[in-house]
């Protein structure tokens, strides 16, 4: 494509995101974690809905998902299912997390864990393990962003320069406005993505079948390539075991940015209202997946499946729509990347540096903002420029590690007896098993490595918890007065 | 203190918990195997229909749960 229009639209999108991100600060002083980290707990239901929705719709939706549809078929729909389940998790846990934050002053996930288990070590360890998944996710989105800029500029913007442009834009508005920037940019990106995905999907369907609707696409596939319409998919690697365990592992990944998003809400009921409507946003995935299915017949010899939507757009769509697809894909990548970068900086400052160096809250707040730059420049950018592995596998690895922190949350929401050594044993064993079954023997018996980790993690967590001293009563009572109001009172009466 | 596992304390709470559990079971094996067919339902693969049925189910269940569990009854 030689037209300058797609690149202009894509760069225009970055400029708009930059302007609204920077202006989100609106006179607020950002040197405290309460402001920079959780936007002064001020977000309303609509902003929160778009914040969480856009944050969960990543470059995967615009690149990886059409790529999976193109290479594997209907296996791609597992993503929509686990996203819907994450809304259930948000509905149940979100209001409780908000109440923990509001009453006990937590601004990070690690701080809540450290408080519940009276162990800064556990809070720091959980933060570090979560940061592996978060970094993997941020790298994934950055690669996607740089690739978009490269395609939209017909190769004139190399990947390294795309990485620098995108991370610089994010760094600027994130440094200036923190979580408030994430809120307004995600709201803008969320609306843009929904419009672009449906415009591209319907245009592609009309181009491929002559009708505005998806039935014709699947009718052709059913008659010519039916293997794409069932599991284990066209390449046979997504059996029921991997489908099921991928969904379970993904839905129990309490990623740190989601935690910060919940704590940014104006009230507990704000989260419940947003979570209730969250599944409605995931219709955004369907049209992009259809583009991948169209590609199976229209572009049979693609060397890289992730590129199917963009390649199809470049071949069959007008340049303004290609530009909008570029902007939409970039919006998806940036809206997911920025919350992760933000939460990594907060976690390193609040959960690792503060207890280690006994920093004051004010110093920790300033440090979190300033840590953004080295995290981007020294970790995310170099790794993204080397473009490691397959996009989706990075996502799965990240979620697999994040799931291993599950015992810490069980002890926060469901089980009063969870002890510090029990959680520590569970996390460490789950982490080691996931690592081995990711790198040495990937996904044995077609079961997700993170699920194998959980199968060792959870029994060990329970056994060690029962065999060791529980956390102090006053701490447990403080948490479960929120997690199980009324129940705690009855338990105390029975004990008396 | 007497330790416990959190569970619903009202009939409505149990109903919502049951609905959540059924929704999760609907998306994984063995239910997904029932939809693993290469014919089309309403122009879409059955697994796609199942997927969006779950999406709508989650949305409707939470809407209903918000009405069922008010104030102190939010205990699922």
Task: Provide the mean pLDDT of chain A.
Answer: 89
Predicted local confidence at residue B75, as pLDDT = 44
User: In terms of pTM, does the model score above 0.80?
Assistant: yes
CA A294 to chain CA mean position, Å: 27
Question: What is the torsional sign of CA A344, A349, A355, A360?
Answer: negative
**Residue A398 scores a pLDDT above 70:** no
Task: Give buried/exposed letters for A432-467 (b at 16+ CB in 10 A, else e).
Answer: ebbbebbeeeebeeebbbbbbbbebbbebbbebbee
Residues of A in contact with B73 (CB under 8 A): none
Predicted local confidence at residue A253, as pLDDT = 82
The burial class, CB within 10 Å (0-12 / 13-18 / 19+), for A94 is: buried
**Residue A378 scores a pLDDT above 70:** yes
Domains and CATH numbers, chain A: 5-400 (1.20.1730.10), 404-496 (no CATH)
Distance from CA of A450 to the nearest CA of B (A): 16
**Residue A37 scores a pLDDT above 80:** yes
Question: Phi then psi for B6, rounded to 5 degrees?
Answer: -70, 135
Predicted local confidence at residue B73, as pLDDT = 45
Lowest mean pLDDT among A13-22, A234-243, A258-267, A398-407: A398-407
Q: What percent of chain A is modeled with pLDDT above 90?
A: 61
| Alpha-carbon gap, residue A44 to A310, rounded angstroms | 35
Q: What percent of chain B is modeled with pLDDT above 70?
A: 91
pLDDT band at A380 (very low <50, low <70, confident <90, very high): very high
Predicted local confidence at residue B36, as pLDDT = 95
DSSP H stretches of helix in A24-119: 45-56, 59, 65-71, 78-104, 109-116
Which tokens sit at A307? 């590129």
Predicted local confidence at residue A158, as pLDDT = 93
Ranges of each domain in chain B: 24-71
Question: How confident is the model over A70-82, as a mean pLDDT?
Answer: 93
Residue A340 contacts residue A367 (beta carbons within 8 Å): no
Question: How confident is the model over A183-191, as a mean pLDDT?
Answer: 88
- Written as one string, the DSSP assignment of A419-457 is -HHHHHHHHHHHHHHHHHHHHTS-SGGG--HHHHHHHHH
Contact check, Cβ <8 Å, B62/A276: yes
B55 part of contact set with chain A, CB < 8 Å: yes
In chain B, % helix, strand, coil (3-state, to 5) comes to: 60, 5, 35
Contact check, Cβ <8 Å, A275/B62: yes
Residue A334 contacts residue A384 (beta carbons within 8 Å): no
| Alpha-carbon gap, residue B59 to A281, rounded angstroms | 10
Question: How confident is the model over A213-241, as a mean pLDDT?
Answer: 90
Question: Cα(first)–Cα(last) distance of chain A, in Å?
Answer: 77
**Residue B74 scores a pLDDT above 70:** no
Q: What percent of chain B is modeled with pLDDT above 90?
A: 78
Question: What is the torsional sign of CA B61, B64, B69, B71?
Answer: positive
Question: How confident is the model over B37-58, as a mean pLDDT?
Answer: 94
| Alpha-carbon gap, residue A22 to A18, rounded angstroms | 6
Q: Which of B27, B36, B38 sits opposite A222 (nearest CB)?
A: B38
Contact check, Cβ <8 Å, B58/A480: no
**By C-alpha distance, which of A177, A112, A167 is closest to A341?**
A167
* Tokens 């990548």 belong to residue: A333
Which tokens sit at B32? 């997904």
Q: Which of A218, A251, A417 sits opposite B40 (nearest CB)?
A: A218
Contact check, Cβ <8 Å, B9/A487: yes
| Alpha-carbon gap, residue A75 to A72, rounded angstroms | 6
| Alpha-carbon gap, residue A463 to A111, rounded angstroms | 25
**Residue B70 scores a pLDDT above 70:** no
A481 part of contact set with chain B, CB < 8 Å: no
Predicted local confidence at residue A490, as pLDDT = 59
Residue A370 contacts residue A202 (beta carbons within 8 Å): no
Residue A486 contacts residue B72 (beta carbons within 8 Å): yes
Residue A229 CA neighbour count, 13 Å, CB half: 23
| Alpha-carbon gap, residue B66 to A273, rounded angstroms | 8
The burial class, CB within 10 Å (0-12 / 13-18 / 19+), for A128 is: middle
Residues of B in contact with A494 (CB under 8 A): 2
User: pLDDT tens digits, residue range A106-128?
Assistant: 999 999 999 999 999 999 988 98
**Taking CA atoms, what residue in B is nearest to A221?**
B38
Which tokens sit at B26? 């609907």
Distances (CA, A) of A345 to A140, A210, A395, A417: 17, 49, 20, 32
Residues of B in contact with A213 (CB under 8 A): 43
Tell me which residues of chain A, numbers 227 to 256, contact chain B at a CB-CB cutoff of 8 Å. Answer: 227, 229-231, 240-241, 243-244, 247-248, 251
Question: How confident is the model over A131-156, as a mean pLDDT?
Answer: 87
**Residue A26 scores a pLDDT above 60:** yes
């Amino acid at each position: 494509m030689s037209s300058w229009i797609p690149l202009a639209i894509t760069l225009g999108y970055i400029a708009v995101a930059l302007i609204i991100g920077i202006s989100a600060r609106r006179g607020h002083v950002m040197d405290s974690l309460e402001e920079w980290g959780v936007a002064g707990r001020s977000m309303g239901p609509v902003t929160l809905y778009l914040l969480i929705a856009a944050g969960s719709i990543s470059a995967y939706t615009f690149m990886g998902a059409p790529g999976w549809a193109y290479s594997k078929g209907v296996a791609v729909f597992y993503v929509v299912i686990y996203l819907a389940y994450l809304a259930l998790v948000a509905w149940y846990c979100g209001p409780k997390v908000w109440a923990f934050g509001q009453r006990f002053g937590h601004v990070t996930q690690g701080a809540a864990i450290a408080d519940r288990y009276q162990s800064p070590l556990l809070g720091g360890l959980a933060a570090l393990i979560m940061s592996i998944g978060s970094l993997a996710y941020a790298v994934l989105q950055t690669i996607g962003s740089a690739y978009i800029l490269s395609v939209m500029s017909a190769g004139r913007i190399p990947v390294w320069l795309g990485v620098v442009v995108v991370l610089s834009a994010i760094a600027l508005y994130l440094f200036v406005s923190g979580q408030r920037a994430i809120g307004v940019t995600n709201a803008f990106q969320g609306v843009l993505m929904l419009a672009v995905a449906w415009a591209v999907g319907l245009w592609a369907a009309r181009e491929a079948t002559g009708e505005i609707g998806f039935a014709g696409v699947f009718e052709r596939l059913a008659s010519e390539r039916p293997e794409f319409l069932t599991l284990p998919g066209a390449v046979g690697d997504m059996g029921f075991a991997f489908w099921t365990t991928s969904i379970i592992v993904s839905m129990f990944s309490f990623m740190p940015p989601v935690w910060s998003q919940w704590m940014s809400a104006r009230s507990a009921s704000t989260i419940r209202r947003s979570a209730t409507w969250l599944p409605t946003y995931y219709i955004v995935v369907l049209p992009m997946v259809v583009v991948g299915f169209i590609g199976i017949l229209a572009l049979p010899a693609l060397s890289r499946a992730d590129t199917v939507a963009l390649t199809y757009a470049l071949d069959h769509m007008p340049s303004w729509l290609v530009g909008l697809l570029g902007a939409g894909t970039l919006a998806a990548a940036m809206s997911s990347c920025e919350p992760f970068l933000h939460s990594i900086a907060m976690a390193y400052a609040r959960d690792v540096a503060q207890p280690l160096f006994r920093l004051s809250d004010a110093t920790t707040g300033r440090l979190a903002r300033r840590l953004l730059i080295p995290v981007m420049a020294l970790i995310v950018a170099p790794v993204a420029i080397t473009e490691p592995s397959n996009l989706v596998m990075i996502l799965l690895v990240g979620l697999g590690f994040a799931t291993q922190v599950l015992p810490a949350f069980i002890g926060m929401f469901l089980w009063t007896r969870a002890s510090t050594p029990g959680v520590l044993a569970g996390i460490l064993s789950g982490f080691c098993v996931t690592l081995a079954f990711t790198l040495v023997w990937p996904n044995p018996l077609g079961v997700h490595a993170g699920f194998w980790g959980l199968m060792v993690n959870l029994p060990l967590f329970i056994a060690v918890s029962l065999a060791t001293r529980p956390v102090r009563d006053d701490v447990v009572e403080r948490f479960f007065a929120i997690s199980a109001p009324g129940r705690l009172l009855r338990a105390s009466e029975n004990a008396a | 203190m007497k330790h416990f596992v959190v569970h619903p304390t009202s009939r409505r709470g149990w109903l919502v918990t049951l609905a959540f559990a059924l929704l999760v079971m609907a998306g994984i094996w063995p239910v997904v195997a029932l939809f693993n067919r290469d014919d089309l339902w309403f122009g879409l693969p059955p697994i796609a229909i199942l997927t969006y049925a779950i999406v709508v189910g989650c949305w409707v269940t939470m809407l209903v749960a918000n009405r069922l569990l008010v104030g102190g009854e939010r205990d699922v």
